[in-house]
Amino acid sequence: MVEEIAKKLHIGSVRLHGGVPTAKRGELMDRFLEDDATQLFISTDTGGVGFNLQSGSVLINLDIPWNPAILDQRIARIHRLGQKKKVQIILIIASDSYEERVLQLVQGNATCSTMWSARRPSRM
C-alpha cells in the first residue's frame, strides 16, 4: 500500500521484504543511497536484517512490534554513530486501534523491564 501511494505521489522508492533474493538486496540499497530520485526505502522487519540506513533521516513506523527491542533496532538502523542529519522518528498509530493497544502493552512491558533491572541485585 505504501509503495502504491509513493508511485501516485511520484516519489521514487525501493521496497525490501523477505521475498527479495539476497543477491538483489544490495542493488536496492545502492539505488536508495546513490539515486537522488529514490527518496523512500520501504522495508519489512524480515527484509531489513543487517542493513545500515544512516543515509536516511526520517523513519516512519506503520506498525508497532510486540517486542520493544525490534522498534529500537529499526531506529538504530537510521540513528547511528556517524549520522550527520537530524533524525525524525514518526510512529503512525490510529486511535482505538490494534496498534494503539500493542503500543500501550509494549510501553507497559518496557516500564516493567526497566523497573525489574533497577531492582535486581548486582551479581558482583
Instruction: Kindly report, residue by residue over 64-95, the tens digit of the pLDDT.
Output: 888 888 888 888 888 888 888 898 888 888 88
pLDDT digits (tens, 9 = 90+) for 2-44: 889 999 999 999 988 888 888 888 898 889 888 989 988 888 7
pTM comes to 0.69
The structural domains of the chain, with segments of one domain joined by +, span 2-119
CA distances from 34 to 31, 62, 86 (A): 5, 25, 20
Three-state SS annotation for the chain: CHHHHHHHCCCEEEEECCCCCHHHHHHHHHHHHHCCCEEEEEECCCCCCCCCCCCCCEEEECCCCCCHHHHHHHHHHHCCCCCCCCCEEEECCCCCCHHHHHHHHHHHHHHHHHHHHHHCCCCC
Look up the CATH architecture of domain 2-119.
Answer: 3-Layer(aba) Sandwich (3.40)
